[in-house]
Structure 1
Amino acid sequence: MIAIAPIKSLPDGSVATIPMSWADYQQLAASRGDRSTPRLKYADGYLTLKMPTFEHGQLDAIVADLLVAILNQQLRDYVRTTPVTLQIPEQAGIEPDHCFWLNDWTAVSGKSRIDLATDPPPDIVVEVDVTNFTNIADYERFKVPEVWLIRGDVLAIFVLTPGGIHASRV
């Protein structure tokens, strides 16, 4: 195990990828305490760090609020969280901008942590990508049924099917 110093600061918009073990990723994630930055993504022995920009935060709020308005109009119950860390031990960890549980919202309501070994994955995640950090395929292994991705001025919705994750025609 390597010694990992706590992350103090990265410039806005920074993205860096480095090889790292699962144990070191866990240690680094814990060193942040309650801070949600930088955002961490771990997959197959590599850690990617991202420092969100002001623009990222604005777009994230707009898309999440749009989804909330749609769900409220439909009188749907849901749980909305941000930030949240989803992990598959020894394989992957990801921190979506927003997560929404619709069908199994009662299973996660009131929880302080999500454990995908016992809790359902979110039904929808919202991702804003201003720095080319987001790879839609990352969500396939987490079995997230729907991903709303805003990249530039385009909002795309991706759905998980038995054949993989694909752009929706809606």
Structure 2
Amino acid sequence: MGWAEYEQLLVTRNDQSVPRLKYADGYLALKMPTFEHGQLIAIVVDLIVAILNQQLRDYVHTTPVTLQIPEQAGIEPDHCFWLNNWAAVNGKSRIDLATEPSPDIAIEVDVTNFTKVADYQPFQVSEVWLIRGDRLAVFTLTVDGYQPAEVSQFFPEIDLSSLYQQVVAAVSKGASPPRAIRSVL
């Protein structure tokens, strides 16, 4: 598939976010989010928003968003956060990576082993968070590509993986996600 066909497919979707699309090296991949996928992304996003609000930090977060580098790649993360560069995208209706910064964090929930963290490298996203079940892995962009990290550079004092696991465990025992988040924070 060529870039023109990929762009035409994006236009025919009329800003719908399903299916999620990924285009790289002439190949198109489609992902159909499930209920489980939606629950897991909601948990991690609500957790991060709660932490950011506790810290009184400014941010912009969104889903869906299509990140594109014309003629090369396009990807639709499950969720994105702009933390350091929030003001540059605040109030925008569209993001153009030629003039606006990439998100600081892209989050992917991988129920079907769809995600390749390296696919984010052309977009220069500082961190990619990959969720598989009750595991949250943080990958930080380095000169050698994405490397696993023990902590997020944006939350260096917080063990996000542990907090996420605690929330998921509490939810599996019957707590609502908001209650579970409040209990771990």
Give TM-score scaled by structure 1 length: 0.86
How far is the alpha carbon of 1:152 from its aligned partner? 2.2
What is the aligned counterpart of 2:126 among 136, 145, 148?
Answer: 145
SS of the residue corresponding to residue 29 of structure 1 reads helix
Q: Which runs of 5+ in 2 are unaligned?
A: 152-185
Counterpart in 2 of 1:124? 105
Q: How many residues align?
A: 151
Measured against aligned partners, the alpha-carbon deviations of 1:3-22 in whole angstroms (never above 9, x if no partner) come to: xxxxxxxxxxxxxxxxx110
Counterpart in 2 of 1:64? 45
**Deviation >6 Å, runs of 4+:** none
Tell me if 1:136 matches 2:114.
Answer: no
2-side partners of 1:94 and 1:26: how far apart?
12
Pick the structure with more strand per residue: 1
How far is the alpha carbon of 1:97 from its aligned partner? 0.7
Counterpart in 2 of 1:31? 12
Tell me if 1:97 matches 2:83.
Answer: no
How far is the alpha carbon of 1:117 from its aligned partner? 0.4
2-side partners of 1:157 and 1:73: how far apart?
21
Counterpart in 2 of 1:41? 22
How far is the alpha carbon of 1:154 from its aligned partner? 0.8
SS of the residue corresponding to residue 75 of structure 1 reads coil
1-side partners of 2:51 and 2:25: how far apart?
36
Counterpart in 2 of 1:86? 67
2-side partners of 1:82 and 1:90: how far apart?
23
What is the aligned counterpart of 1:160 among 123, 134, 141?
Answer: 141
Measured against aligned partners, the alpha-carbon deviations of 1:40-87 in whole angstroms (never above 9, x if no partner) come to: 000010000111111000001001111111211221100011000000
2-side partners of 1:33 and 1:49: how far apart?
16
Counterpart in 1 of 2:157? none
Q: Which amino acid aligns with 1:35?
A: Q
2-side partners of 1:148 and 1:47: how far apart?
22
RMSD, aligned α-carbons: 0.8
SS of the residue corresponding to residue 30 of structure 2 reads strand
Pick the structure with more helix per residue: 2
Q: Which amino acid aligns with 2:8?
A: Q
SS of the residue corresponding to residue 147 of structure 1 reads strand
